[in-house]
Amino acid sequence: MMPGAGTRLYGVIGFPLGHTLSPALHNAAFAATGHDGVYVALPVAPARLADAMAGVRALRIAGLSVTVPHKVAVVDLLDGLTPEARAAGAVNAVYREGERLLGHNTDIAGYQAMLAEAGQEARRALVLGAGGAARAVCLALRRAGIPFTVAARDTAKAADLARALGAGGDGSVRAAIAWEDLGTLLPAIDLLINTTPIGMHPAVAASPAPDLAALPAGAIVHDIVYRPRETLLLAAARARGLRTVEGGTMLVAQAAEAFERWTGFPAPVAEMRAAFEQATGDDQSC
Ligand code: NAP
């Protein structure tokens, strides 16, 4: 559909934004549903965030994705938050209610889609990393009733996240451990989740858990990194015969939830998934 006078404008703000796949996913969704919208990448330097949000209001942008480094800073520039955004302490999708701009977090639903693919039956998880995405992952684990331990190179951050989100479950396993000790916990878990950027393009020859030998045979490995689709961590897990879930599942699911909030229509998930696969398959660097 050609943009016209009634076309609604959507976009993603972040900095830098070189590798964002969001325009491919959302424009595919608009095309599949006939929604008269255009989605563009809008790089916004940190010092210009307030100006950019004033522009979002003035231009009546209909929906906005928010990525690194603005997910927390944008909170103070909005008129309200959903319970998900409040619980996550971060916003990755802004939507409009009349003149009000509201912040939501779709990473929680995004990770729930990974759990649904494989992992819902897990009895103990180990979360690698304690950043923004880890918080959404831990919230989803808590909602699923899966006790978890957080391992991060900043042990204080791991402990803060674990305490804030009630990790540890029955208390038989520590809620947070130092990064260098994560190997000691592998025999006791059945779900390993990478939420760090380790293994992400272009530094693809790295894994956050180089030796998976100690994981039990039925363990499941999740990597929320989606570029490349098969990270070194997932390749090692598959080589061991373990079940794996790729970060693309989370990317597509979080985008689908944003689409639904913006438009009120069910998201065309299959078309969004196909757009993701085409964008990553076309990219020789993946
Ligand atoms: P973030 O807030 O910067 O958090 C990154 C975490 O990883 C921090 O705990 C950081 O530790 C840790 N970390 C980074 N490099 C490390 C290293 N070399 N060794 C050990 N720990 C390291 O980033 P984020 O927003 O959570 O995103 C993390 C990753 O998830 C990115 O690759 C992002 O693309 C991906 N992601 C994917 C989806 C999806 O839909 N699939 C959604 C969101 C994010 P420090 O705090 O010590 O720096």
The per-residue pLDDT for 168 is 65
Q: Whose CA is nearest to atom 19 of ligand 1?
A: 153
CB atoms within 10 A of CB 266: 10
The pTM of this model reads: 0.95
- Output the ligand 1 site: residues, CB below 6 A: 68, 107, 110, 129-134, 152-154, 157, 179, 195-198, 200, 224-226, 247, 250-251, 254
**pLDDT at residue 283 greater than cutoff 90:** no
Active site residues: 71
When pLDDT is cut at 50, 70 and 90, the band that residue 170 belongs to is low
Kindly list the distances between the CA atom of residue 31 and the CA atoms of 39, 128, 268, in Å, as whole numbers in the listed order: 11, 37, 10
Give the alpha-carbon dihedral of 235, 241, 245, 248, to 10 degrees. Answer: 30
What is the C-alpha radius of gyration for the chain, rounded to an integer number of angstroms? 19
Distance, CA 129 to ligand 1 centroid (Å)? Answer: 6
What confidence tens digit (pLDDT) does each residue in 108-123 have? 999 999 999 999 999 9
- ∠ CA 204-151-169, rounded to 5°: 135
What confidence tens digit (pLDDT) does each residue in 175-188 have? 899 999 999 999 99
The per-residue pLDDT for 136 is 94
DSSP β-bridge partners for residue 106: none
Ligand 1: atom nearest CA of 247 is 41
**pLDDT at residue 236 greater than cutoff 50:** yes
